[in-house]
Chain A
């Protein structure tokens, strides 16, 4: 027989089991992604953000107005259970820190944290002091840079090591390498591309390569110099000169000709 919980025995701001997290509200507020509440005791109100009364809160701790419609503010007193498609959930504390996380993994956070869009598309950054809840496919492991990780296993990183792409060039370049990468003939291991982290900080990895579905993070402003902003740079970041007959362009570069 499994444990029977009631408001007195449910933990406050802690995990009930690996898949369910309990938040205690005492007149306070939490931001949560739409539809992640499974049950609650007490009186709790859920309000979509982006209208009058919560305007100030959104201004101070929510900086991604374009995807505000995916978030709600829970307000009131009682205990609330959060869960997400039976994935592992965990809470993390930030103290005057910063953490960047894949948008699909973030479930809920305290308003004392500020949520901002990361420059890296598809990621969100939390800044400040407070608690947040994140979901992952399998338990999360914490690693220290320098480190190269598989793109599908990356959940996020804290205290800002520098994230960049890494390719196994010895394997990828040259005529044969290009053929291998394009066709998979001759054995591509599927691990030729990694994310590389250097510097001081922590990298969070999930213990599977099954990605959580992406949540929209909102479009970045359409400005030159903004990654993912969709506007080309002033000089035109695209192909500079028109291609001459006989030139292969990207393919040519790929095959090292």
Chain B
């Protein structure tokens, strides 16, 4: 069972079951725990090769035992996500932990990934259970529905879940080249049905100053 202790520490109560967590993110535990590094994120040989090839590196450990284990990483804010058979897309650098029953994998994101400065691939988490996602500052969860499409700054995007189509918008115009750009030259537009997690801070992206 995942719960937050404060906003920057994740506590997981284990009764013989297991969680996947970012390697080295354990800060304390109570009870009996075993920590095992999962080569390739427990995605098998194929997953391992995919991650190596795509550069979407994620070192994950499996924590198993009885008791409570606490996780934290560089005082980042932690957001809990509940999955009910749907799929969560998250950058591997923002992934903290997930129930061991959830499947993780990699997916091609195309230009969106490139615009975020995170590479062309993203991590997917799928199944029934809970996951924990990190952000710089508490993430705002925004609902996207048919009548309310959402546009997000690539640097502030953290994760999304549900059935969403994303398209890449470029506002680069003649004026950008003249040094009079709108400052928001690249944007991701989400349409469909789902949730988008946006952090109150922007990563440095190639489009950061355009």
Contact = CB atoms under 8 A, between A and B. Distances in A.
Same complex for A and B? Answer: yes
Interface of A: 1-7, 16-17, 19-20, 33-41, 44-51, 69, 72, 81, 83-86, 89
B151 A39 contact: yes
Nearest to A5: B142
Q: Is the interface of B mostly helix, strand, loop or mixed?
A: loop
Contacts of A37: 153, 183-184
Interface in B129-143: 136-143
B25 interface: no
B182 A6 contact: no
Given A37-B184, A46-B171, A48-B175, A85 B201 contact: yes
Nearest 5 A-B pairs (CB), nearest first? A86-B137, A34-B183, A83-B200, A46-B182, A38-B156
A41 B149 contact: yes
A4 B143 CA distance: 6
Contact of B143 (A2, A5, A36): A5
B142 A39 contact: yes
Interface string B174-194: 011011111110000000000
Contacts of A46: 171, 182-184
A4 B156 CA distance: 17
B156 A83 contact: yes
Contacts of B183: 33-35, 37, 46, 48, 72
Contacts of A51: 175, 178, 180
B198 A81 contact: yes
Contacts, number: 119
A47 B141 CA distance: 27
14 contacts: A4-B195, A19-B137, A38-B199, A38-B202, A39-B142, A44-B151, A47-B182, A48-B175, A48-B180, A48-B183, A51-B180, A81-B140, A83-B202, A86-B137
A20 B181 contact: no
Nearest to B141: A4
Interface string B135-176: 011111111010011111101100000000000000100011
Nearest to B184: A46
A72 B184 contact: yes
A7 B148 CA distance: 7
Contacts of B77: 86
B196 interface: yes
Interface of B: 77, 79-80, 82, 136-143, 145, 148-153, 155-156, 171, 175-176, 178-184, 195-196, 198-202, 208-209
Contacts of B181: 48
Given A37-B184, A81-B198, A5 B152 contact: no
A2 B198 contact: no
Nearest to B207: A35
Nearest to B77: A86
Contacts of B184: 34-35, 37, 46, 72
Nearest to A6: B143
- Most A CB atoms within 10 A — which of B153, B155, B179, B200? B200
Contact of B79 (A2, A84, A86): A2
Contacts of A3: 141
A20 B148 contact: no
B145 A6 contact: yes
B82 A86 contact: no
Contacts of A7: 148
B35 to A, nearest CB: 28
A42 to B, nearest CB: 8
Contact of B142 (A6, A36, A83, A85): A6
Given A50-B180, A69-B179, A39 B156 contact: yes
A85 B201 CA distance: 4
A203 to B, nearest CB: 26
Contacts of B141: 2-5
A154 to B, nearest CB: 23
